[in-house]
Structure 1
Amino acid sequence: MKIRMEWVYKTPKGAEMVFRSDEMPAAQALMLAEDMDRIGRTKSLVFLDSYDSSWTIKELKKYLKGIETEPHNIIVYFDGGFDRETRSSGLGCVIYYEQSGKSYRLRRNAPAAGLMSNNEAEYAALHLCLQELELLGAHHIPVLFIGDSQVVINHLSEEWPVVEKDLFNWADRIESKIKDLGIQPEYELVPRKANSEADRLATQALNGIEIIATSEVVGES
């Protein structure tokens, strides 16, 4: 979860000034707030999340303590591939997350039939990621979804309207699942080369190579 800080700084002579920070990870904000509190010249300090809900230091500590043993700091990469000749699809999903003080990478792919376009395959890949998040037990937490599909990213971030019926149905399924899990989604569009891991998994699924693996990521946060 990203947090902004707002506080009043009071000088030894009693002058006061309001400060506001940029967004930062919640754990970093808490560390800074505790350090500022020790100085003794800060008052009325609050944290604001992306929904402008306010948190006290005590509330933020409780939140961070509560998610330690659950998946958090989740970043999801997704990609879908579609073969026009065979009318088959491959779905790729990569999930980076932290849990119990360790970092993990989950890789998952799957073949898919019955899809009619690459755009549908992209949506299906994102839906596969949501199913994996549900299996992980991720819920009521911010999640960053990264993909190279302008259609999917711009549809779900409401930059573009969804016109095609098939894609509308996929978008509806995805938004319903996100709501059920209580996920607070963020979407990021990247070039294809920045999504190579999920792209490779989708291609492997098209070629009949199925991968399901979770590994610890050492030396990365």
Structure 2
Amino acid sequence: MREFIVEADGGSRGNPGPAGYGAVVSDAATGETLAEEAEFLGVVTNNVAEYWGLLAGLRAAHALDPTATVHVRMDSKLVVEQMSGRWKIKHPDMKPLATQARSVFPPDRVTYEWIPRERNKHADRLANEAMDAGTKGETWSPAMSRAELDTPSAVPEPSGPPGDATEGAARARAGGRVAGSGASGAAAGSRAAGAAPVPEKGAPSSEQRPAAPSEPQPVSTSGGATDKQQLSSAPGWSSAPDLGAPATFVLLRHGETPLTPQKRFSGSGGTNPSLSEAGREQARRAAEALARRGTVQAVVASPLARTRETAGIVAERLGLDVVIEDGLRETDFGAWEGLTFGEVRERHPDDLNAWLADPGAHPTGGGESFAETATRIAAAQEKLVAAYAGRTVLLVSHVTPIKTFIRLALGAPPESLFRMELSAASLSAVAYYADGNASVRLFNDTSHLRP
């Protein structure tokens, strides 16, 4: 029986934004490229573009030999895990995508493998060529070369979080340009969860696909005013009458611990500090601010001591219970827990350099890579959006998850993590709509902490 390799990719310059896909079919025995597919999709999300790339690759393989077996390679962790059956598909707009993909070949003749983005360059190039052509009003063809296109490409890197470590680590990674209160590491893994509505089998032209929203809702930054509308399910630029109220995540970073002013690695490994008195006061002030707004309907927290304590203070003031979600915990930094960035560089320079350069690298002594953290947080986002559809929920978490929620919602590249400041006990907010779109309502607000 003949075997094909299908490599597929999709991207959106914005999430949603101008998007395209690329797919390559090759002979598994010889490595010969047998087919190339690419298309500009108009304005859709990353996940939709990735699924269309998968569908195009499977259909091209089927056209070559409907009796073949297929091995799919993609750098989208979300698509690979969902199509492999290891992740449940709860989002109503994701299910039809998976159904279409499974209908091309019998499921027992298709296998899936996640590969790093650098190993998916052929499909990535085709996706970029399609997007470049589409933005010029042209149609991609196999004869089209990148030299003929003058629009720069910018498919986002796979999504992933920073670490809740030290300011020094973030600055080392970003060349000293970060003004953050916690360290950030490289990010990799799945792109933003959720997808736009799915066209029926047989891709329509870009004119038939949904148009881009025209007026994004502004993002408030540190110190900006907050009000009931910003933290509630008020209509945003991506809402529409038939979408209903979004799931709105109010993201609260925990208050200070004794390690926070010392800028020490504080993840989910050996160190599990409680709040300092200053941190408890910050939590009380956040609780009062949230009580005044009166929009939070549920409280969910990371299982670590500092987040549970912060959540308990807020929940008591709001008259709510605290639900623990393990997916919101911080990265495990292994043997680096409790150390400063300088101490880690002195003791484990090679491990630290590898960790800063490679999202798949682990801290000394094990722990959790940023790629693994990214996968966990993307799954938590999907789970919580489904559980709290149409409601406003307070998530009490850490630097890693909160920056990742923001980055995924914006469709921003990983380096954006190193340009975010996230203060202790700060408030941010993201709304998630039924079509998979997200709207950032607030970021790093600390006005409630002022005297």
Q: Which bin holds the TM-score, normalised by the shorter protein?
A: 0.5 to 0.7
Distance in 2 of aligned mates of 1:150 and 1:140: 27
- What's the offset of the Cα at 1:83? 2.0
User: Which position in structure 2 is the counterpart of 1:210?
Assistant: 140
> Superposition pairs for residues 57-96 of structure 1, below 5 Å?
72-84=2-14, 87-96=17-26
> Superposition pairs for residues 1-221 of structure 1, below 5 Å?
72-84=2-14, 87-97=17-27, 103-113=32-42, 115=44, 117-136=45-64, 138-179=65-106, 184-208=109-133, 210-212=140-142
Distance in 1 of aligned mates of 2:17 and 2:4: 32
**What letter corresponds to residue 104 of structure 2 in structure 1?**
K
Q: Is the 8 A contact 1:143 1:183 kept in 2?
A: no
**Structure 2 unpaired stretches of 5+:** 134-138, 144-451
Distance in 1 of aligned mates of 2:26 and 2:31: 11
Q: Is the 8 A contact 1:107 1:211 kept in 2?
A: no
Q: CA deviation digits over 1:16-48, x for unaligned, max 9?
A: xxxxxxxxxxxxxxxxxxxxxxxxxxxxxxxxx
Q: Is the 8 A contact 2:21 2:50 kept in 1?
A: yes
Taking only the aligned residue pairs, the percentage that are identical comes to: 27
- What's the offset of the Cα at 1:88? 2.2
- What's the offset of the Cα at 1:130? 1.8
- What's the offset of the Cα at 1:178? 2.1
Of Structure 1 and Structure 2, the greater strand share is in: 1
- What's the offset of the Cα at 1:113? 2.8
- What's the offset of the Cα at 1:174? 0.8
Distance in 2 of aligned mates of 1:108 and 1:119: 17
SS at match of 1:165: coil
Q: Is the 8 A contact 1:107 1:212 kept in 2?
A: yes
Distance in 1 of aligned mates of 2:34 and 2:55: 18
- What's the offset of the Cα at 1:201? 0.7
Q: Is the 8 A contact 2:15 2:46 kept in 1?
A: no
Distance in 2 of aligned mates of 1:161 and 1:98: 29
RMSD over aligned CA atoms reads 2.5
Distance in 2 of aligned mates of 1:148 and 1:85: 17
Q: Is the 8 A contact 1:141 1:183 kept in 2?
A: no
TM-score relative to the length of structure 1: 0.56
Q: CA deviation digits over 1:110-155, x for unaligned, max 9?
A: 111353x10111011101112212322x223321000000110000
**What letter corresponds to residue 111 of structure 1 in structure 2?**
F
SS at match of 2:105: helix
C-alpha spacing 1:185/1:82, structure 2 compared with 1 (3 Å):
same
- What's the offset of the Cα at 1:102? 9.5
**What letter corresponds to residue 75 of structure 1 in structure 2?**
I
Distance in 1 of aligned mates of 2:33 and 2:127: 20
C-alpha spacing 1:98/1:188, structure 2 compared with 1 (3 Å):
closer
TM-score relative to the length of structure 2: 0.29
**Structure 1 unpaired stretches of 5+:** 1-66, 214-221
Q: Larger Rg: 1 or 2?
A: 2
Out of 189-198 and 127-136, give the one that drifted further.
Answer: 127-136
SS at match of 1:143: strand
C-alpha spacing 1:104/1:196, structure 2 compared with 1 (3 Å):
closer
Distance in 1 of aligned mates of 2:37 and 2:71: 17
C-alpha spacing 1:128/1:135, structure 2 compared with 1 (3 Å):
same
- What's the offset of the Cα at 1:86? 7.5
